[in-house]
A and B are shown apart, each in its own frame.
Chain A
Amino acid sequence: MLRFILTRVSLVIPTFLGVTFLTFLLIRLVPGDPIEVRVGERGIPPERLEQLRRELGLDLPLWQQFLDYIGGVLTGDLGLSLVTRNPVISEFFTLFPATIELAVAAMLFATLVGLPAGIIAAVKRGSIFDHGVMGISLTGYSMPIFWWGLLLILFFSVGLGWTPVSGRLDLLHYVEPVTGFMLIDTLLAGEYEAFWSALHHLVLPMIVLGTVPLAVVARMTRSAMLEVLGEDYIRTAKAKGLASKRVIGLHALRNALIPVVTVIGLQVGTLLGGAILTETIFSWPGVGKWLIESINRRDYPALQGGVLLIATTVMAVNLLVDVLYGVLNPRIRHSR
């Protein structure tokens, strides 16, 4: 087991180094250099320009810059934001819980709706329900989510007034951040009204971000179930007179879940990518919105650090899924 885990971890290391190198190159591929681009046409005194360049280490030879960067990455120092002068890493981790809260909610939404929908579609193959689920999920998969968010705001927030338009919490409430997860913090503080407010704020972004994963989960569940339902052991289970609920819920679902869980794990990238759009539409104060703002403010160190940290998160989650998969499924563990 340990050997399996270590192999998987060691396979990720070169990729991590590659991503680190890529993000290092990134900031240096900006035409001109980041300082000049940022300063723009306004112009600043040459000595100030020199000072800013020195701060970013742009005056050093390239190899030395790279070593410094790697050293920084390994010690958790990703430089300072050009705008706020705060360490990039602390800015990122202040905002990251908001993104995680949104992404986890979206994934829960996608799984809780997509799994049953896929199962029923497979069991009632060829029925109106099956066609409906497949049609809706292909539409969801094709959805430009930035537009979908606007439609939902138009209908539920503007039209019906059910949900707020943007943000995470009404201005009436203030909750001291402990975990950074609004739903948990409000409960910890015992502010139930604030909890409701936070929940109301979460609903629409959750649906918008969860739409594409929902479609993927529903389609995957359906096809995995269809495959499993054709197996001999299902026929045996049916033949020996088990209730069909038991056959579907226990015998079939368990085996169909393996590919579904993998797909859910692979959605992490989609979620973090989609968070950029969702957070921008709903003014959700997470890392996605922060990245776009960093780009608009030409804050390249922030962009660089943010990209590296998001890529690391994706890799870490994929690794975790990979390892969990091996733990749950001995056939994978012993295959190599």
Chain B
Amino acid sequence: MTTEVKDTAIAATVPTSQPPHPLVEFWYHFRQNTGAMIGLAVILLIAFVALFANVVAPHDPNIQYREAILVPPVWQDGGSWRFVLGTDDIGRDMLSRLVYGARLSMMIGLIVVTLSLAVGLALGMVAGFFGGMVDVLTMRFMDILLSLPSLLLAVVVAAILGPGLVNAMLAVSIVVIPHYARLTRAAVMAETNKDYVIASRVAGAGPLRLMLVVILPNCVAPLIVQATLGFSTAILDAAALGFLGLGAQPPTPEWGTMLASSLQFLQRAPWVVTWPGVAILVTVLAFNLLGDGLRDALDPKLKR
């Protein structure tokens, strides 16, 4: 009875205003972060280039123009518009290789994040929800993985599985699983004892329903942020493995692999080394900017 009275009273004072849809509110906060908007724009651009690589790239990334070996970029002496960013040591067009490399890097990011997020989410959720021995064992195992420097672990896994792009992606995925598991566990533990979860439990919801339908949607925010930042880690680590010869193998136009295979031309033709690095840096930076922006926009504590 009393609540009804309250409701009508409020309705009377604020007749039309409704709280904005969460997405609208999120966008309002996100839009004010210039860095994040730049990051988003760059990522959309790279995604576009990656998706339409066969249209965007002026040449086939693996065709060797024997008459055009180590041609400098267009603005240097001897450069031509035919190869805007120059060619590498066996006459392949740098720009086209970079464009196809974008496709690889975005794919690496997507696969690594999906894989590690799925496994980490499942482990963290089970550990946080059930607690007890399951929790202790899972988290101890995660601690073990975390006690190894991530790049070292990735290198070792790649060395055992053998070099190659698929194995490199697997290696990087394994390395980042603990981060998702820990994050999920912490979020799940914070939610599990809240009233709405207990209410569902009392109403007879089973553990699967409680975990996936009731709790999970309330743990998504930190995971979105971590997944975005995970793209940058994945791209960076996969490139590092490629550079060490443990990732994608030549002639795959993966950015790290491209760097490694043109090392001896560092002095003669700096552009073969410069561009792949710029591509990695810009992509990783864009994802980090976006991740930071998402964190600020999604974190209720920081909202004004």
Contact A15 B240 (CB under 8 A): no
Which of B45-53, B75-83, B147-155, B211-219 lies at the interface? B147-155
List residues 265-291 of chain B with CB under 8 A from any CB of chain A. 266-267, 270, 273-274, 276-277, 280-281, 284-285, 288-289
Q: Is there contact, CB below 8 Å, between A314 and B148?
A: yes
- Known contacts A139-B281, A142-B284, A154-B270; A26 and B160 CB within 8 A of each other: yes
Chain A interface size range: 35 or more
Distance, CA A292 to CA B163, complexed state (A) = 13
How far is the CB of B231 from the nearest CB of chain A, in Å? 11
Would you call A144 and B155 a contact (CB within 8 A)? no
Q: Are B259 and A15 in contact (CB under 8 A)?
A: no
CA gap between A295 and B140 in the complex, in Å: 28
Q: In the complex, how many residues of chain B place their beta carbon closer than 8 angstroms to a beta carbon of chain A?
A: 41
Q: What residues of chain B have their CB less than 8 Å away from a CB belonging to chain A? A: 35, 140-141, 143-144, 147-152, 155-156, 159-160, 162, 232, 236, 239-240, 243-246, 256, 259, 263, 266-267, 270, 273-274, 276-277, 280-281, 284-285, 288-289, 292
**Residues of A contacting B240 in the complex (Cβ-Cβ under 8 angstroms):** 144, 146, 277
Q: Quick check: is A321 within 8 A (CB to CB) of the other chain? A: no
Q: How far is the CB of A317 from chain B (nearest CB, A)?
A: 11
In the complex, are the beta carbons of A303 and B159 less than 8 A apart? yes
A277 near B244 with CB under 8 A, answer: yes
A270-B149, A314-B147 known; A153-B259 Cβ under 8 A: no
Question: In the complex, how many residue pairs between chain A and chain B have their CB atoms under 8 Å apart?
Answer: 111
User: How far in angstroms is the closest Cβ of chain B from A81?
Assistant: 15
Tell me whether A18 and B280 are in contact (CB under 8 A). Answer: no
**Further 4 A-B residue pairs, CB within 8 A, beyond A139-B285, A276-B152:** A146-B259, A150-B263, A280-B244, A303-B159
With contacts A138-B285, A139-B285, A150-B259 taken as known, whether A144 is within 8 angstroms of B148 at the C-beta atoms is no
Given contacts A292-B244, A311-B148, A314-B149, contact A144 B267 (CB under 8 A): no
Q: Which residues of B contact A314 (CB under 8 A)?
A: 147-149
* B118 CB, min distance to chain A CBs, angstroms: 22
Q: Which residues of A contact B276 (CB under 8 A)?
A: 147
B156–A26 contact, CB under 8 A? yes
- Measured CB to CB, the nearest residue on chain B to A295 is B159
Q: How far is the CA of A151 from the CA of B270 in the complex (A)?
A: 9
Which of B144, B245, B270, B292 has the most A CB atoms < 10 Å from its CB?
B144
Q: A272-298: which have CB < 8 Å to B?
A: 272-274, 276-277, 280, 291-292, 295-296
CB atoms of A311 and B147 under 8 A apart: yes
Query: CB-nearest residue of chain B relative to A22?
Result: B144
* Interface of chain B, main secondary structure: helix
- Give Cα distance in the complex from A292 to B148, angstroms: 16
- Could you tell me if A273 and B267 are in contact, using CB atoms closer than 8 angstroms? no
Contact A143/B148 with A14-B140, A15-B140 known, Cβ cut-off 8 Å: no
Inter-chain contacts of A295 with B (CB < 8 A): 155, 159, 246
Q: Give the distance in Å from the alpha carbon of A143 to the alpha carbon of B240 in the complex.
A: 11
Chain A neighbourhood of B160, CB < 8 A: 26, 29-30
Would you list 22 pairs from A and B whose C-beta atoms are within 8 A, ordered by A residue?
A: A14-B140, A19-B147, A26-B156, A29-B160, A138-B292, A139-B281, A141-B288, A143-B281, A144-B277, A148-B277, A158-B266, A269-B147, A269-B150, A272-B149, A273-B149, A273-B150, A276-B244, A280-B244, A291-B152, A295-B155, A295-B159, A310-B148
A269 & B289 in contact (Cβ 8 Å cutoff):
no
Closest 8 CB pairs of A and B: A147-B277, A273-B149, A273-B151, A18-B144, A142-B285, A142-B284, A269-B149, A295-B159
Q: Looking at A139, A154, A273, A291, which has the most chain B CB atoms within 10 Å of its CB?
A: A273
Q: When the two chains form their complex, are residues B152 and A154 in contact, meaning their CB atoms are under 8 A apart?
A: no
- CB atoms of A147 and B155 under 8 A apart: no
Distance (Å) between the CB of A30 and the closest chain B CB?
Answer: 6
In the assembled complex, the Cα of A315 lies from the Cα of B266 at a distance in Å of 38
Bound-state CA distance A303–B274 (Å) is: 32
Given contacts A19-B147, A31-B162, A277-B240, contact A292 B155 (CB under 8 A): yes
A307-B152 in contact (CB<8A): yes
Which residues of chain B have C-beta atoms less than 8 A from A277's C-beta? 151, 240, 243-244
Q: How far is the CA of A155 from the CA of B184 in the complex (A)?
A: 44
Interchain nearest-CB distance for B29 vs A (Å) = 18
What are the residues of chain A within 8 A of B266 when measuring CB–CB? 150, 153-154, 158
Closest A residue to B243 by beta carbon equals A146
Contact call A147/B143, Cβ cutoff below 8 A? no
| Complex Cα gap A147–B156 (Å) | 21
Q: Which A residues touch B143, using CB under 8 A?
A: 15, 18
Q: How far is the CA of A318 from the CA of B285 in the complex (A)?
A: 29
Bound-state CA distance A120–B267 (Å) is 38
Give the residues in chain B near A292, CB-CB below 8 Å.
155, 244
Produce 1/0 per residue, A251-284, CB < 8 A to B. 0000000000000000001101110110010000
In the complex, are the beta carbons of B281 and A144 less than 8 A apart? yes
Give the distance in Å from the alpha carbon of A225 to the alpha carbon of B233 in the complex. Answer: 27
- Chain B contacts for A150, CB-based, 8 A: 259, 263, 266, 273, 277
Query: In the complex, how many angstroms separate the beta carbon of B168 from the nearest chain A beta carbon?
Result: 13
The minimal Cβ–Cβ distance linking B101 to chain A, given in whole angstroms, is 13
A residues in contact with B144, CB < 8 Å: 15, 18-19, 22
Does A273 lie within 8 Å of B152, measured CB to CB? yes
In the complex, which residues of chain A have a beta carbon less than 8 angstroms from the beta carbon of B152?
Answer: 272-273, 276, 291, 307, 310
CB B151 to nearest CB in A, in angstroms, measures 4
Contact among A139, A143, A270, A307 with B156 in the assembled complex (CB-CB below 8 Å): A307
